[in-house]
Amino acid sequence: MFGVTHFPTIKLYNDEKKQVVTFKEARLVENVLNFVKRYANIEPRTGETKNRIARVFNIADIEELKHSMDAVLIAFVNKGDRNWVKLHYPSHFYQELARTFDNVKFAIKYFEDAESDLMQKYHVSNVPALILLEGNHIGAFNSLSTNPLRNYKIDAHDIKQFFGKVSLEIRRNLVRGS
């Protein structure tokens, strides 16, 4: 019925007309979206598929992000870490958090690509690690830990707890400083 002869193949089945339509255009996001609109008469929700994670390579990239947002969260991770290989999927916890906390710019720094001065500036000697930059304040999570039994992964729960802890510390520092 569907006549699939090779992979990958994209087909839509119209139940009313009892016909199968095959996608034959170049596999570009825009083409797939137009195909779905044309043959399924629905408007795809693309807001949930946009990559909200910036990739940083050096200190200049981080400085640029700091100027664009009040807060920047940088995750330092290994490219091959099984908890991070699907980072660009909309369902990945880091993408979901980036949609939830729209006042924070989420960024990723792959450990393998890191400049030594970037790692030194934020005292990152362990991955995965998080660095939160908010104004002149810096918060760190798991950046110096060397306990591989506990500190080999970071998940959504860890990030939410980290936000709560860092925000509390920032408020205390602001009260003491004024």
105 pLDDT band (50/70/90 cuts)? very high
Same domain (yes/no): 63, 39:
no
Same domain (yes/no): 70, 4:
no
Same domain (yes/no): 118, 169:
yes
User: If you average pLDDT over residues 30-41, what whole number do you get?
Assistant: 86
For 89, the domain range is: 53-177
pLDDT tens for residues 125-165? 888 999 999 888 888 888 766 655 555 788 898 888 888 88
What are the C-alpha distances in Å from 78 to residues 21, 86, 112, 113? 41, 12, 7, 9
| Per-residue confidence (pLDDT) for residue 30, from 0 to 100 | 84
| Per-residue confidence (pLDDT) for residue 109, from 0 to 100 | 92
Same domain (yes/no): 77, 145:
yes
Same domain (yes/no): 78, 152:
yes
Same domain (yes/no): 128, 155:
yes
Same domain (yes/no): 11, 82:
no
| Per-residue confidence (pLDDT) for residue 97, from 0 to 100 | 92
Same domain (yes/no): 80, 145:
yes
